[in-house]
Structure formats: C-alpha cells, structure tokens
Structure 1
Amino acid sequence: MAESHPSPDRTTTEVRTLLLSRSRAARLLGAAAFTLLPLAAQAADIDGARLAGWWSLPFAGVLLSIALFPLLAPFIWHHHYGKITAAWSLAFLLPFAALFGPAVAGAGLVHALVAEYIPFIVLLTALFTVAGGIYIRGNFHGSPAFNSLLMAIGAVLASFMGTTGASMLMIRPLIRANDNRRHNAHVVVFFIFIVSNAGGSLTPLGDPPLFLGFLKGVEFTWTLRNLFPETLFLIGALLALFFLVDTWYYRREGVEKIDPTPDTPSFGMEGKVNFLFLLGIVALVLMSGTWKPGVSYDIAGTPVGLEQLLRDAALLVIIGLSLYLTPVRARQQNEFSWAPMAEVAKLFAGIFITITPVLAMLKAGTAGAFAPVVQLVTALDGQPIPAMYFWASGLLSSFLDNAPTYLVFFNLAGGDPAVMMTTLAPVLAAVSAGSVFMGANSYIGNAPNLMVKAIAEERGVKMPSFFGYMAWSAVLLIPLFGLMTLIWFR
C-alpha cells in the first residue's frame, strides 16, 4: 500500500491554523490572565504553608482527565481537551483569587507562564520543529536487533541533545521501521523508557532537572562521573528486556522481512541543515545557563533575565529558519504535523498552572500540607536517607514537573552544591536519578513522553491508555528501580 503524503502547503496551512485559532477556553484563560496581570507586580510569592491539601484537586483533575477521558469519552476528549484543561485551570485560579486576592493569584499565574511555561514550550517547539525537519531515509526493517540498535543510539544522543531532541529525531524512523507489524505499541513504550527518559541522565543537556542542578553550581560532568553505572544498568536492562519481548512478538507474528510498504531503497538524510539548528539550540541552552549579565526585566512581578529573553528570541528565529530552509519534501516524508505539539502545549499549560499550589506546598517543607513526604526522607538523627530521596523525588517526578521537584529535594538536602557533590554525593545522585529515571513512570512524567505518544497515535500506533502505560512501567521499571535502590541508594 503506497504511503500517502500531505500536500506541499500542509505545513504552512497548519502553522496558520495553529496561530489564528481561538477557542473559547483560550479566551477564558486570557481574560483571567489580563484581569490579574496589573495586580501581580504587587504580590509576594505564594506561601505554601497557608495552603490546605485540597488545593491540589485541580491538578489531580487534570491528571484524571488525561487518564480517563480518552477511555470513557474519547470523542469528547479529542475535540475538547483544551477546554477541559482550561476549565481545571480556572477551577484553581478563580477560587484562589477570591480567597487570597487577585494580586497573589496573578503572581502565581505570571510566574507559571513567564518563568516556566513559555521558556519550556518555546524550547520544546524549537526541538520539535528542527527534529521534524530531518528525514532519515531508508527501507528499515523493524527486527528486534534493529529496534534495539535505534534505541541504543537514541539513548546516547539524549544526554547531548536532550531527551526531547533525541526523541523527536528517532521516533519517526522507528515507527516507519515497524509499520508492517501488527504489534508495535510496545516498541514505542520501551522507546519512551529508554530514549525519552533514562538516556538523558549523564549531562545537564539531557534533562531539565540536571540543567537546574548545573545552574545551582553542580559541575557539568558530575552526573556523568556519578550516575554512569546506574544509567548503564538501567538502559542495558531495558534493552535486554525489550529484545526478549520484541523477539516474542516478532516470532509470534511471523513478520515478513520484506516491508510491504517500502520507504526508500537506500540510506540517506534530508533536511541536514537542521543539524546546525540543533547545535544552535544546545549552544543557546548552555549560554543561558552560563552567561549571567546581571540584567533583568520585571514582567508583572516576575524577573526575567536578559539571557532568557535572548535565548527564547533566538529559538523563535531558529524555528522560523527551520520552517523556511527545510525542504518541503523532508517534512512531507516525515508526515510532519503540528497536532502533537498543539496537544502538548494545551495540556502542559493546564499542568503548569494547576501545579503551582502543589509545588508551593512541597517547598513549605514540614510547615506545608505535604510535611509527611518531607519527614519521610530524613532519619531520626536528621541525616538525609538516599533511598527515600530517590523514591520520593522519583515518584513525585512521575506526575509533577520533574525540574522543580528536583529543586525542592535539592534544597531540602541543604542546597549547597559543594557539599552535595562531596559529603552528600549519594543524596545528590539519588535525587538526580529519581527525577530523571522515574519520569518514565507515566505519560506526563516528562514532556517527550506525551509528545512521542501523540506522534505515534497520529501515525496509527494504538498506544496504551494512561493506566495501560503505567501497567507497563509498574511491571518493568519499578522492579529495576528496586534493584538500583539495593545496589546504589541504600
């Protein structure tokens, strides 16, 4: 069956549609934002010690919506997930503004959008656009050995171009290689485990939590020197398990070695200019973390450094150049579409907004509603327990944004990078490993997870549900994390 390709102006049309569309939910959130913005500059940070645990309900509502709506009401979710997410955001913002005042609510909203969401989504869009313009040509055959090789390469790339960049670059050829197989969802699940998460643990470029540690003063090569055995164990074990599982499916299916829908007869690449843009993205990320001109601008109460503004502006330029300079054919052959990016952007907007009180309560430590979590990681003599730091930071990173979760436990253990890298090295290793590795436990644990899922589903792969995916992670990942605890984090 011949492969269908979008029309030459598909990318331009989708960009225009994405930029010009205005949903009712977006207008509601916009109205709330502009109502609160003038007062936000006068507000102090949200005091997590004043918040009751039930303020986490809107965030739980977002998670349950992502988990249950695709199962119970898929048609409604597919057409209205943005509105549902916006409704949960307003369910937090409006009562919070009523009880604590528009100024405090506005400060939280502006900080979530300006300091966290916008940089996050701009970087993600840049990586999605650039990687989506690189077409890896070849009539690949998705055998267990070839699939394992692609994942191993992706895992190595993840620590140097980020889990998002590596995921966006490698997922499309992997899907094409397995497009003639009846059972291919497990291939994508293991890809998320290995490339979208575990592979990003060796440098600050790999995953946002490690980059935040780098900004706090952790040496660039510290994770490479201290997490290499754990990373090698986890990736090696997952690749071995994948090979066994994929071999079983492969033999059961009796897959033909000749692809009935061949892609191209010879290996090659199109859109090579995007490799320069990938290097530019890496350089911009490093620049924003190392160059500190000491100039910042107050945006409704949230200070934004000059380095962040220049980075994000340059990333927008890279997005535009990639769209302009990439051959149309490369994106057509990749079946490039903005739908996965739009889904991630809308869902994570709600997640970043509703997660605000949850992170504030965690930052409050023993004075907050999540005091039991804080007490759990500390021994009676006041010393931190590496194993508990590994599991606490990891399990929270499975559902919360793993970058601020990393910071919470980094600061909880003292926050002095010199001490963390030496005396408390086991604790820093535990927090780093938990925040990165356990992001694979759910679809929302790390941004690439949801994006890879969206791309796979758009290409016809029947991915597991939210809970179905967690069943895979519970069976495969949790026992491996248990072994790692016994070996390294006791």
Structure 2
Amino acid sequence: MLFFATAAAHASLPPMGMLAPFIVLLLCIALMPLIAVHFWERHYPKVAVALGLVTAAYYAFVQQDWHPLHHAAQEYVSFMALVGSLFIISGGISIRVKGEATPLVNTLFLLIGALLANLIGTTGASMLLIRPWIKMNRFRITGFHIVFFIFIISNVGGCLTPIGDPPLFLGFLRGVPFFWVLQHCWPAGLLALTLLLATFFILDARNFYRIPKHIRDKETANEEWHFGGLLNLAWLCVVIAAVLLPKSLQETALLGVFSVPALVMIAASVASYFTTKPAVHEANDFNFGPVKEVGFLFIGIFLTMIPALQILQSGEAVEISSPLQYYFTTGALSAFLDNAPTYLSFLAAALGQQHLSVESHGDVLRFAAEHTGHLVAISLGAVFFGAGSYIGNGPNFMVKAIAEKSKVNAPSFLAYMYRYSIPILLPILIIVGWVMVKSAP
C-alpha cells in the first residue's frame, strides 16, 4: 500500500481531454436508450468496458500510477456487492395481493415503500413492490400511479441511509458516517415525502371517486395479501449487519479488493438465491438482467470518473459555493445523468474548494462535520432529482419496463417530464431546497 500512496502523491493532474470517456459514457447512458435502443441493448457492455479501459490504460502506461485503479476496483466491488445482494434477496420475496386499493391504502403503501427503500435500497424496494402495486390498482391504474411510485419509492424515499440510494452509498464508501445521512437529511426527506404523498392522495382520490360507487365497493371488498420467501428477510439482516461491521473489518480486504463486508454480502446473496423456491422467483419474473446492466455500466463509470474526480477535487473546475447552488446544480445533472457519479463529482468539487481530497476518509469526515450544509445539499440534490427523468436513476427505467410488460400505459420519456416531473416534482423540490437547504449551515 505504501507504493500506491507514494505514486498517488506524485501523480500529475490528468489533462482535461481525459474527461472525454466519462462524458461519452454518461451521454450514452442518457441518450442511447432513446435514439438507438436495440444497438444499446446488445452492445452497452462493450461500450462501457472499452471506455473504462481507455482511462485504465492512461493511468497504467502514461501516469504509471496504479493507486487510482486499485481504489476504483475496491469501491466497485463494494458497490456491486451491496446493490447486487439487495437485488437478489428482494427478488426472492414475493407479495401477491387481491382486491382494489383505496387512496388511503395506496398512500400508506407508498409511505411504507419509501421507508423500506432505506433498508433494501431503492432498486430492491422498486423490484419488490412494483408488481403488487400494479396488481392492487389494476382496475384503475394510470400513468400517474407509475410516476409517483418512481418519485417516492425509486428515489426520494431512499434519502435516509447509505443503503437507500447508490449516491449515498458511494459517500459512505468515501468516509461519510453511516448515520450522518439520517441525522442531517431526515427533515428535508420528511418534507419532500409529505408533499409528494399529499399530492398523490389528492390525485388518486379524484381518480378513485370517478368510479361508480357500486363498482368501487365490489372491487375493494375482500382485499387479501399473500407473502412468500420470507426467509430472505434474514438474509437482508445479514447484509445490513455487514454494512455496519467495525471499521477494522471494513478495511480488511482479500486480494486487496474484496472487503469483508462485500464477501459477507456476496455469501448472503448466494445463500438467498439457492434457498428461495423457484416458484417465488417465477412469481416475481426474477432474472439477472437489471443487475447485469448495472454491473457493466458501473465498470465503465468507476474507471472513467477517476480523472473527473481528480480535476474536480483540485478546486479549480467548479465556481459554485453556496449549499443552494450545490443542491440545484447537483440536482440538474442528476435528473439527466446517472445520479451516483454526479454525487461523487460534486462531492469531490466541494472538497477541492476546501483543499481536501475525496480520496481521504479523514478529509471526507472532516468535511461532513465542518460543512454540513454543503454535503446535505449534494446528497439531497442527487437523490431527489434522480426522479427528474427516466434516466436519472437506475430503478426508474426498470419500473417503466415492468409496467409496460404488465400492459400499463406508462408515460413516454417526454410525457414523464412535461406532465409530471416539471409541473409536480420540480416545484416540490424547489420548496424543499428553499426551506431546508437555503438556511443550512
């Protein structure tokens, strides 16, 4: 490790041209599903890995500095161990529901899903709950049911723990204490959830009471819930316990890459998969497609963002300074690019302005203590605005795909924005920012 530290200390700042692979990859993630969907479905692994290898080659042969690549590999394995284990374990729990839900039941369901997202991640909660959500509303489901599910469960709800949303887990890996997010972000999370749930309840009540009363009474009678694969709750507890292992074990790594928590998570996911009855997986239409996509894309993201992080942490690339500016700037990019690297990029920029390094756990811990408002702004901007479009956060497109497979008319990419995220979500997030972030220390 001394070699890596020494090499990192003397490495020169990469040229601006080395940002190109990162920018190209993010643009591909944002645009290719819209303009060349079939090409992207077939070749995204090659594109992501190839762009990542361009950056890896620069550090290996030009900079001759292996430390950034080693660090990226460690973070990638930890990241994928968490995301993958939560996806696999939640895929082994099935929820079946009979009967039609009332507006109050729907609102409570979304609230419970938002809280659950902090324990199993927004991806896990979305994959676990989207099918029962569609079934319990099958008699009157519309586009806004899918959109508010994405707003609340796939994004905003996961703002309270590092497990909740990928950006926050990346911050945890960099040194943000596990309970820091809950301690400092819960007021803004509570306000955002309250406004979103209240708006949903009003819209859903209008939808519900348009139906003739005798049909409403018939459809909402004899509501029944059935649960399967509950053994997987134990495996979820194992994953959560792994995240909370002592720092000494967090820093112990097999082959320099596989941390003890990552190995525990991988073991829990393997055990979950083989102890879950095939009927449960079939009921959930479980397959590894979504986690495979995340895995390949993030190989490219973790490698190509190394130059961006180094340039941003120099403190010279970003001129914004106030928490409110960070909130909206991080949010604007998170709505149309992947919110995880966006979070890490602005965290690096904010640290760089204080002459601190995102590579140092001590510096990140110091920043979290001394510049709480800035870190709250970056965290909330990344998590909340990830709901701004289908491409802001991984679960968004997954939910849309499952809805369409279930014959639900989910809004198109543009309709999602001009009918929902711009007129409904954006004003709520502006209120949250103005009330909670503007006055942050």
The reply to whether TM is greater than 0.5 is yes
Equivalent of residue 162 in structure 1, options 112, 117, 121:
121
Matched-pair contact (CA < 8 Å) for 1:209–1:406: no
Matched-pair contact (CA < 8 Å) for 1:41–1:107: yes
What residue is the counterpart of 1:198 in the other structure?
156
What residue is the counterpart of 1:437 in the other structure?
384
Equivalent of residue 201 in structure 2, options 243, 255, 280:
243
What residue is the counterpart of 1:273 in the other structure?
231
Deviations 1:189-236 (A, max 9, x none): 222221222222223443344455556665554443432221111011
4+ residue runs over 6 A deviation = 40-43, 45-48, 252-255
Aligned mates of 2:372, 2:53 — CA distance in 1: 39
Query: Does 1:348 pair with 2:298?
Result: yes
What residue is the counterpart of 2:329 in the other structure?
392
What residue is the counterpart of 1:327 in the other structure?
277
Matched-pair contact (CA < 8 Å) for 1:394–1:437: yes
Aligned mates of 2:18, 2:180 — CA distance in 1: 37
Aligned mates of 1:257, 1:157 — CA distance in 2: 29
SS in 2 for 1:137: strand
Query: Does 1:176 pair with 2:176?
Result: no
Equivalent of residue 233 in structure 1, options 162, 168, 191:
191
Aligned mates of 2:57, 2:330 — CA distance in 1: 30
1:238 shift after superposition = 1.1
From the superposition, tell whether residues 457 and 321 of structure 1 become closer, same or farther in structure 2 (CA, over 3 Å). farther
Query: Does 1:310 pair with 2:263?
Result: no
From the superposition, tell whether residues 425 and 338 of structure 1 become closer, same or farther in structure 2 (CA, over 3 Å). closer
Matched-pair contact (CA < 8 Å) for 2:52–2:301: no
Query: Does 1:479 pair with 2:439?
Result: no
What residue is the counterpart of 2:47 in the other structure?
87
1:151 shift after superposition = 0.8
Matched-pair contact (CA < 8 Å) for 2:69–2:303: yes
What residue is the counterpart of 2:14 in the other structure?
50
- Relative to structure 2, which stretch is displaced further, 167-176 or 276-285? 167-176
SS in 2 for 1:278: helix
Identity of aligned residues (%): 36
Equivalent of residue 319 in structure 2, options 375, 399, 412:
375
Query: Does 1:408 pair with 2:348?
Result: yes
What residue is the counterpart of 1:18 in the other structure?
none
1:42 shift after superposition = 11
Aligned mates of 1:355, 1:230 — CA distance in 2: 29
What residue is the counterpart of 2:25 in the other structure?
62
What residue is the counterpart of 1:35 in the other structure?
none
Matched-pair contact (CA < 8 Å) for 1:397–1:435: yes
Q: What is the root-mean-square deviation of aligned Cα atoms in Å?
A: 3.9
From the superposition, tell whether residues 319 and 161 of structure 1 become closer, same or farther in structure 2 (CA, over 3 Å). closer
2:276 aligned partner, one-letter code: T
- Relative to structure 2, which stretch is displaced further, 392-401 or 133-142? 392-401
Q: What are the ranges of 5 or more consecutive residues in structure 1 without an aligned counterpart? A: 1-39, 378-384
Query: Does 1:488 pair with 2:436?
Result: yes
Aligned mates of 1:334, 1:296 — CA distance in 2: 34
1:139 shift after superposition = 0.5
Deviations 1:20-66 (A, max 9, x none): xxxxxxxxxxxxxxxxxxxx9997589684322x5444444434444
Deviations 1:120-157 (A, max 9, x none): 22322211111111112320424433322211101122
Query: Does 1:358 pair with 2:327?
Result: no
SS in 2 for 1:127: helix
SS in 2 for 1:136: strand
What residue is the counterpart of 2:374 in the other structure?
427
SS in 2 for 1:50: coil
- Relative to structure 2, which stretch is displaced further, 477-486 or 251-260? 251-260
Aligned mates of 2:414, 2:133 — CA distance in 1: 24
1:489 shift after superposition = 2.4
From the superposition, tell whether residues 442 and 362 of structure 1 become closer, same or farther in structure 2 (CA, over 3 Å). farther
Aligned mates of 1:77, 1:313 — CA distance in 2: 31
Aligned mates of 2:247, 2:183 — CA distance in 1: 21
Query: Does 1:283 pair with 2:241?
Result: yes
What residue is the counterpart of 2:360 in the other structure?
none
What residue is the counterpart of 1:7 in the other structure?
none
SS in 2 for 1:267: strand
Aligned mates of 2:371, 2:59 — CA distance in 1: 41
Aligned residue pairs total 422
From the superposition, tell whether residues 155 and 294 of structure 1 become closer, same or farther in structure 2 (CA, over 3 Å). closer
What residue is the counterpart of 2:89 in the other structure?
130
SS in 2 for 1:117: helix
